[in-house]
Amino acid sequence: MPEISRFFGIVIKMFFDDHNPPHFHAFYGEHEVLINIAHLSVFAGSLPPRALGLLIEWATLHQRELLDDWTRAKGQQPLERIDPLQ
């Protein structure tokens, strides 16, 4: 599962052969969450509230890039790194 971004201890990854809907995985310590890219909503797992807030802020800024990486993953193409939240 390639890492596409990392910031404030949050690691963002995406699988090449993952299921729909288009989503990404975020890891923070022992927590994992799956975020629906289209709606920027949690559909599995959980993160502490502060980490989730930072994650949604980042995803809002990079929603188009996340969808582009999802398309690349489905086509078995290398994923692009996405700038971290600063």
Residue 74 three-state SS: helix
Task: Determine, yes or no, domain membership for 68.
Answer: yes
22 is a domain residue: yes
Residue 65 lies in a domain: yes
pLDDT at 17: 86
**Does 82 reside within a domain?**
no
Establish if 84 belongs to a structural domain: no
The pLDDT, as a whole number, for residue 50 is: 97
Give the residue numbers spanning the domain of 59: 3-74
Average pLDDT, the chain: 96
The first and second tokens of residue 84, run together, are 């971290």
- Number of independent structural domains in the chain: 1
Q: At what angle do helices 49-61 and 63-74 cross, to 10 degrees?
A: 80
pTM: 0.94
Q: How far is the C-alpha of 71 from the C-alpha of 85, rounded, in Å?
A: 22
